[in-house]
Amino acid sequence: MMKWSLFLTLIFCTGIAYGQSQKSKNYSRFDERRAHFGFMLGINSASNTVYQNADSYKLYNVKSIVSNSQTGGQLGIVSTLKLWGPTTRLRFLPSLSFQERVLTFTSSSIVNPLKDSILEERIASTNLDFPLMFQFRTTRYNNFATYVLGGIQYSLDLQTQQNANQSNSDPFIKIKRDDLQVQIGGGVEFFTPYFKFGIEVKYSQGIVNSLIQDNTTSSRPIDFLYNRVWGLSIVFEG
């Protein structure tokens, strides 16, 4: 549901901006500067792309594994470098993000074969994210512009348990500390007299299997696990 609300928010803001009548430009010298700096505040919805072992039911009695998204937050520092003209920029946005994911395992109950057994595994992460993005912006219309983003992100999980000892009685999913993701997104920008702020939607998809397969009852039914994150943020630049 969150990803649809992100798109609707972006469309709503775009509609308001296009409804503006012609007016004088705020912060008219913004595009003359080579570099800009600012900060970002946002929320995220994190989950996993799960590839279940084809024989997980026969071998481990697991019918399905579903990743349920959870809401988190993020904050970061923005550095933007103008490359070609006022519309093409390179953005570096190191940030701290708080994420949580829930994997729901559905198995046949041993006690009652007619009733399924549900087990949840929570995966919490505190990440240092280092996204490097190309930003392609439209020319300004009054005090408004739109843009799209594309790039790659390296994430370092400060809360990783990849080296923690497992308990046979209470196993948990181990996730790798390092992750690499591709990112795409878009947003709208509004120019005020002294600064610019944008409302932005981004999607990040992991391209490296983040699962540590240590042959526990939790990890054996899974072949591959990739991180994915939807984000909605407000970006301020001066």
Look up the pTM and report it.
Answer: 0.82
- Position 217 in a domain: no
CB < 8 Å & 24+ apart, contacts of 3-6: 3/45, 3/203, 3/230, 5/232, 6/201, 6/230, 6/231, 6/232
> Is residue 147 situated within a structural domain?
no
Query: Per-residue pLDDT for the chain (238 aa), expressed as one digit of tens each?
Result: 555 454 445 444 544 444 445 567 777 777 778 898 999 999 999 999 999 999 988 888 888 999 999 999 999 999 999 998 778 999 999 999 999 999 999 988 776 666 788 888 999 999 999 999 999 999 888 888 999 999 999 999 999 888 888 777 778 889 999 999 999 999 999 998 888 889 999 999 999 999 999 888 889 999 999 999 999 999 998 8
Range of the domain at 161: 30-51+67-103+121-142+154-175+193-212+225-237
Bridge-based pairing state of the strands 35-52 and 222-237: antiparallel
Nearest to 158 by CA among 126, 192, 203, 197: 126
The pair of structure tokens assigned to 38 is 């600012």
Nearest to 97 by CA among 237, 201, 233, 210: 233
Q: Identify whether 42 is part of a domain.
A: yes
Q: How many domains does the chain have?
A: 1
- Residue 4 falls inside a structural domain: no
Is 199 contained in some domain? yes
Other beta carbons within 10 Å of 40? 20
Residue 158 belongs to some domain of the structure: yes
Q: Tell whether 5 is covered by a domain.
A: no
